[in-house]
Amino acid sequence: MSTNQGMQELIGVVNKLQDAFSALGVPSPIDLPQIAVVGGQSAGKSSVLENFVGKDFLPRGSGIVTRRPLVLQLIHSKHGGSYYYLRTIYT
């Protein structure tokens, strides 16, 4: 198994564990780097996230467009590129 394949499998396991802890209402014991983007309506939060990824992928429009918390995970590919995993949290 290549290092990248092992890392991808590990990321999947970590995501499932984080989801399980969240569903149980228990803080996750897995300490991973995180960035929070906070600001008022139309302050550019979505643009900040898109600049991290380097692509436009969030909806645009007038008024409130992205009204839910988002989890964005940027994953580097062994082929030199990267892709992102976006999950919407419904609360």
Give the long-range contacts of residues 80-85, CB within 8 A, separation 24 or more.
82/53, 84/53, 84/55, 84/57, 85/15
Residues 47 and 83 in one domain: yes
Name the domain count of the chain.
Answer: 2
Read off the tokens for 32: 């991973």
Residues 13 and 55 in one domain: no
pLDDT at 55: 80
Q: How far apart are the first and last CA of the chain?
A: 38
Residues 20 and 5 in one domain: yes
pLDDT at 15: 78
Write out the residue range of the structural domain in which residue 25 sits. 1-30
Q: pLDDT by residue (tens digit) across 30-56?
A: 777 777 888 888 888 888 888 877 788
Residues 49 and 66 in one domain: yes
Residues 11 and 54 in one domain: no
Q: pLDDT by residue (tens digit) across 8-18?
A: 777 778 778 87
Indicate whether 26 pLDDT > 70. Answer: yes
